[in-house]
Structure 1
Amino acid sequence: MPETRPYDSAEYLGTDEAVAEYLAAAVEEGDAALFRHALGVVARARGMTQIAREAGLSRESLYRALSEDGNPSLDTAMRVLKTLNVRLTATVGPTR
């Protein structure tokens, strides 16, 4: 039987470009919970304590905001994105 280990997206987010692509894909889905989860994965990959410190947040509040039951404010999300050196942009979507 081959030995396996759990998949962890955080292991593949070693560059700013990878982080940006990962978060952009989450935003494209249009699911706030998926984006919150992706932001949490990226913060964990980069070091939750460091991200919290640079974003001017407590580590506990960042963990809480990005937890499965969390609901980060736009301000919190924008602070984390700035710390990650990621900028979100808006474009016009397809017509319905």
Structure 2
Amino acid sequence: MSPSKIKTKLLPFDAARYLTDDEAIAEYMTAVLDIEDTDLLLLALSDIARAKGMAQVAKDAGLGRESLYKALAPGAKPRFDTVLKVARALGVKFSAHPA
């Protein structure tokens, strides 16, 4: 088979596959927070939750699994206390620095 006829199958990018330790998660969250995009923040929290296991994160946050999915869905407008509960369950802490 010639090289031009070989089909390459690419998998869609999934950030959750690369969030294997606390260091990677912290770097990811720092980069996302620097962008200041709320939808991207929800996506990042969702990626981390999937990496850690949605059911366990929901339990640790005191939410139902379906509620967690809804809170982190694109375009969702979760309450700030929900975001903090999820972040705490993920082992992530937000901090403030001078701009």
Assess same fold via TM > 0.5.
yes
In the alignment, structure 2 segments of 5+ residues that lack a partner are 1-6
1:46-81 residue CA offsets vs partner (Å, 9 max, x unmatched): 111110001111111111010113112111111111
CA distance in 2, matches of 1:21, 1:84: 14
Query: Which of residues 14, 18, 21 is equivalent to 2:20?
Result: 14
Unaligned runs of 5+ in 1: none
What is the SS of the residue equivalent to 1:51?
helix
Q: CA RMSD in A?
A: 1.0
1:15-46 deviations in Å (ceiling 9; x for gaps): 01111111111110011111111111111111
SS class of match (1:45):
helix
2:79 aligned residue: 73
1:17-56 alignment runs, 5 A limit: 17-56=23-62
Mapped contact 2:39–2:75 kept (Cα < 8 A)? no
2:63 is aligned with 1:87: no
- Asked if structure 1 preserves the Cα contact closer than 8 Å seen for 2:54 and 2:65, the reply is yes
TM-score of the pair, normalised by structure 2: 0.88
Give the Cα–Cα distance (whole angstroms) in 1 for the partners of residues 85 and 25 of structure 2: 15
Which structure is larger by alpha-carbon Rg, 1 or 2? 2
**Normalised TM-score (structure 1):** 0.90
Structure 2 Cα separation of the partners of residues 20 and 72 of structure 1: 22
Work out the percentage of aligned pairs sharing the same amino acid.
Answer: 43
1:5: which partner in 2? 11
